[in-house]
Structure 1
Amino acid sequence: MRVAFGPFIFDSNIGTLLRDQVPITVGHRGLTLLAALTARPGQILTKAELMDAAWPGVAVEEGNLTVQIAILRKALGPADNGGEWIATVPRVGYRFTATVEPVASASCRPIPPSGKPSIAVLPFANLGGDQDQQYLSDGITEDIITELARFRSLLVIARNSSFQFRHRALDSAEVHRELGVRYLVEGTIRKLGDRIRITTQLIDAATGTHLWAQRYDRALDDIFALQDEVAALIASMVEGQAEADSASRSRRKRPADWDAYDYYLQGRAHFHRYELDKSEPLFARCVELDSTFAQGHAFLAQALVGRFWYDNDPLTLQEAWGSARTALDLDRSDGVCHQSMGLVLTHMRQHSDAGLHFEQARSLNPLDVNIAGDYASWLNYGGRAETALNVLETALLRDPLPPIWFWEVKGSSLFLLGRYSEAVGSYQKAGDQFFIHAFLAASYAHLGETEKARAEVEEAFKRKHDLTVRLISGLPFADQAALGLFTSGFTKAGFPA
């Protein structure tokens, strides 16, 4: 059921909550509670009813419900009338106060035809019963996507688009229609002590025919080889064993330690939600346990660059460079490792070398939307906003639901092209960081909308109190004309020098 209330659109089947088309991060139980409340707007739901919905068959204390309701209220913010979306009925339960209206199902632009067989890997179902282990099934799914993307004869849809079908009853014809893919991969994962059980199947989405299915019961330490095996078998079913044999010679180097990989998956789950402060210590623990895991070092470097945006400490950037350097020393054939070095070198203002790493990353992972986004950001800093926008638009054709930070990069491309109204629309989808509000302020200033610019300045100061034009203008631009557009916008908006 897909419903609208106030500025929100909530799809309980997919498990997504949008505010003005911007995704809002809410946990599984929070979404379950919201589904129960919006299904009966204006009615009182008892605490017992809500606990049965969120914790079916599990005895939990009432305090757990109170905590989840508080988290949900915080995510929703104040209602349009200044009150709360969820009202407390003392000693009884809760009531959803807003008017709820059904809306049409979301649709995605199908991926463009390429002449290659196209595949979407749907998020594997977590059968362990513990939602805290969701990152495990998500991470393994994502790694299978990455492995399949190495087969150049296949077109593999990106994670963000395929993951929209979480919590949704599988209808292969519907997925085929919405994503435009020919093949689907679905599966389940259950962790049992030091063993893991994975079932997977390949489906012809156009006909609904099951082409192949397999169940694996392995030790956790075998998970990396298993992911390779699953990807190779799927590829061989679609394009033949010769292509699978060719790709098997260039596989990503895997971590040697299961616990290290577990921390890596947890960190990556936070990273995708733009929770860089939570992801950094998890990536650090990952490489502490397995210093030979290249992608652990690569993602740690990216998280450290995120920290640098806040602390502006050269030592943070130097630490990020060390992590990116280690990642490349371990695996120069991995696109994410080159992406991380490109990102770090961009912020170190070594733009020429950064570009070489981004080109290598794109060559190794041509369909990776995250690499495309960072590459476009590098183009923006070099004054090539038109090219950056083309890169971003092409990536959006492959992945209509990119990571949230992607919209900040697109907003900056539009800003540098003088398309300030469009830049505002893109920035508004990009999250709630201080620099997003600063970019919005500069956009409104160039549009002559002074009051809106000042309001965004205030929002930026709430999130970082020491903002100045000089600090914000420390962005690593190689092109001074591009930097001047931002600097003049920050000044017009009212940031102190």
Structure 2
Amino acid sequence: MQRVHLTFGPFVLDPEKGTLLRHEIPISIGHRGITLLATLAARPGDILTKAELMEAAWPGLAVEESNLTVQIATLRKALGPTDQGGDWIATVPRVGYRFTAPVERAEGSVQRPIAPSGKPTIAVLPFANLSGDQDQHYLSDGITEDIITELARYRSLVVIARNSSFQFRGPAPEAAEVHRQLGARYLVEGSVRRLGSRIRITAQLIDGASGFHLWAQRYDRALEDIFSVQEEVAALVASTVQGAAEADATSRSRRTPPADWAAYDYYLQGRAHYHQYEMDKGESMFTRSAELDPTFAQGHAYLAQCLVARFWYDRDPRTLQSALRSARTALLLDRNDGICNQSMGLVLVHMRQHGDAGLHFQQARTLNPHDVNIAGDYASWLNYGGQPQQSLAVLERAILLDPLPPVWFWEVKGSALFLLGRYADAIDAYRKAGDQFFIHAFLAAAYAHLGEMEKAHVAVEATLRLQPDLSLGYLAHLPFADPSSFEHFLSGFRKAGFL
């Protein structure tokens, strides 16, 4: 059964998918905002009581009427005025609200927008592991991710991020379905088979709209040649799609390949753990990779990121110094690598050297303009610097490339919304951000600012269950450069009951 979506003015609302597009650009209003807007837009012109709307958005819960008022105000701000200058949602005093505009209903799904730049959009689907060993999935996944990274260096292309394209793991999906869901005109598929000290990689480029195969290639190489294969696949894709690869634009940022296959193998295993947020295991793998090949820059860069993650828990200055050493080593080896600059920016943020951190994030974005993880860390830096509105803009652009962003994105987005005073939306975002102690602490602060003290205390208990020795002094270590933003969070922590 097809989904129903609602169109009004420049907006398309898909209630089931939970998306609102304006001129094909996603607008963030949170899941309760989606529910309220869908309830109102489904009955244009009708007066809906406050009780009806509260039951729709908070079914079975006893909540203050002020929550509805805040949500409606947030919706009005997100929608802006109608063409006539009025509100899309009118207040009916002492009764409820009414949706003022005509609404068209249509069956079907809302496609992901094609990149607004008009550049060709490409999705690289997970390469199949044909090695007969399930433990080798990290290898096929790692090769796929490296091809995504290579393609992201071509400024003439827009590349769908890993998190979204990897949802199509498994039996080969229909090209038209991927095109519909991700908005990708071109698809890259392939397979990997490891045969002792050799590797066989197949790759094919498909037109997502027509399903036609544009080219296919097979590579039988020694393991040590894997980087040249990845670069060749990326160059062939770019030249086929764009007409000519932008070699001059990518040569500055090309990675230096590892000299040792075993080092690269540990690096791929580390990255597999990294994407599962198993940072301790990732740290172990990246450490081993760096020991085997001290000249491989990205091994040091990812090690630095894992050490920063550990610093969030142990707050040991020696951990941060180790991260700094790894990030410096990575940059000395390859200062034209986006991930190396990203890692240094991440370390410097936590050392409160925000000016230098910003320079490295901006350099990383110049080198890898379509890297979603770099965009997320840059948005976090903007939050710490007191620029939450700019942070939201960066995140919305990144979500165009990654409809299913990494889970930590929601913490960054939640914090931007928190700093803007949009606490209910911040809570919606934080709830998607995973079961980390600091997420529960942020939730507690948001609930406290809303005056929902019972929920704030529950979040405090969840925080202390995961990090029993957490105190207000610990939370004061959050690396804010902007004093007012820091005080905004700190006052929420105090209200919630952290001591």
Query: TM class by shorter-chain length?
Result: 0.7 to 0.9
- Which residue number in structure 1 is paired with residue 79 of structure 2? none
Please point out which of 325, 338, 342 is paired with 1:339.
342
2 CA distance for matches of 1:246 and 1:423? 38
The answer to whether structure 1 residue 299 and structure 2 residue 305 are counterparts is: no
Distance 1:446 1:113, change over 3 A: same
Please point out which of 270, 274, 286 is paired with 2:273.
270
- Which residue number in structure 2 is paired with residue 386 of structure 1? 389
Residue 108 of structure 1 and its aligned partner are, at CA, apart by: 6.4
Matches within 5 A, 1:430-469: 430-469=433-472
- Which residue number in structure 1 is paired with residue 24 of structure 2? none
2 CA distance for matches of 1:338 and 1:111? 29
SS at match of 1:234: helix
Residue type of the partner of 1:300? L
2 CA distance for matches of 1:195 and 1:395? 37
Residue 205 of structure 1 and its aligned partner are, at CA, apart by: 1.0
Residue type of the partner of 1:438? A
1 CA distance for matches of 2:407 and 2:262? 28
The answer to whether structure 1 residue 371 and structure 2 residue 368 are counterparts is: no
Matches within 5 A, 1:22-421: 109-241=112-244, 243-244=246-247, 247-248=250-251, 250-421=253-424
Residue 247 of structure 1 and its aligned partner are, at CA, apart by: 3.2
1:426-457 deviation digits (Å, cap 9, x = unpaired) = 00111111101111111111111111111111
Distance 1:115 1:345, change over 3 A: same
1:99-125 deviation digits (Å, cap 9, x = unpaired) = xxxxx9997633433221211111100
Distance 1:111 1:404, change over 3 A: farther
Q: Contact 1:233/1:244 (CA < 8 Å) preserved in 2? A: no
Q: Contact 2:112/2:180 (CA < 8 Å) preserved in 1? A: no
Q: TM-score if structure 1 supplies the norm length? A: 0.77
SS at match of 2:246: helix
Q: Contact 1:274/1:405 (CA < 8 Å) preserved in 2? A: no
Q: Contact 1:372/1:391 (CA < 8 Å) preserved in 2? A: yes
Q: TM-score if structure 2 supplies the norm length? A: 0.77
Distance 1:435 1:246, change over 3 A: closer
Q: Contact 2:426/2:446 (CA < 8 Å) preserved in 1? A: yes
Q: Contact 2:308/2:319 (CA < 8 Å) preserved in 1? A: yes
1 CA distance for matches of 2:424 and 2:469? 27
1:460-492 deviation digits (Å, cap 9, x = unpaired) = 111111111110121011111111111111111
Q: Contact 2:253/2:367 (CA < 8 Å) preserved in 1? A: no
1:285-333 deviation digits (Å, cap 9, x = unpaired) = 1101110111111110010000000000001001100000000000011
1 CA distance for matches of 2:442 and 2:252? 45
Q: Contact 1:450/1:493 (CA < 8 Å) preserved in 2? A: yes
Identity among equivalent positions (%) equals: 71
2 CA distance for matches of 1:372 and 1:449? 33
1:223-276 deviation digits (Å, cap 9, x = unpaired) = 111111111112121223453476356421111111111111111111112111
Distance 1:249 1:346, change over 3 A: closer
- Which residue number in structure 1 is paired with residue 497 of structure 2? 494
Q: Contact 1:111/1:399 (CA < 8 Å) preserved in 2? A: no
Distance 1:476 1:119, change over 3 A: same
Distance 1:246 1:367, change over 3 A: closer
Residue type of the partner of 2:138? Y
Q: Contact 2:235/2:245 (CA < 8 Å) preserved in 1? A: no
SS at match of 1:191: strand
Q: Contact 1:111/1:398 (CA < 8 Å) preserved in 2? A: no
1:24-47 deviation digits (Å, cap 9, x = unpaired) = xxxxxxxxxxxxxxxxxxxxxxxx
1:133-177 deviation digits (Å, cap 9, x = unpaired) = 111101100100111111111111111111111114320111111
- Which residue number in structure 1 is paired with residue 93 of structure 2? none
2 CA distance for matches of 1:268 and 1:184? 23
Q: Contact 1:349/1:478 (CA < 8 Å) preserved in 2? A: yes
1 CA distance for matches of 2:133 and 2:109? 29
Number of residue pairs the alignment of both structures matches: 398
SS at match of 2:418: helix
Q: Contact 2:419/2:488 (CA < 8 Å) preserved in 1? A: yes
SS at match of 2:465: helix
- Which residue number in structure 2 is paired with residue 55 of structure 1? none
Q: Contact 2:383/2:415 (CA < 8 Å) preserved in 1? A: yes
1 CA distance for matches of 2:330 and 2:263? 15
Q: Contact 2:388/2:416 (CA < 8 Å) preserved in 1? A: yes
1:357-384 deviation digits (Å, cap 9, x = unpaired) = 1111111111111011111111111111
2 CA distance for matches of 1:415 and 1:339? 25
2 CA distance for matches of 1:459 and 1:436? 10
2 CA distance for matches of 1:414 and 1:384? 11
SS at match of 2:395: helix
Residue type of the partner of 1:182? R
Distance 1:371 1:245, change over 3 A: closer
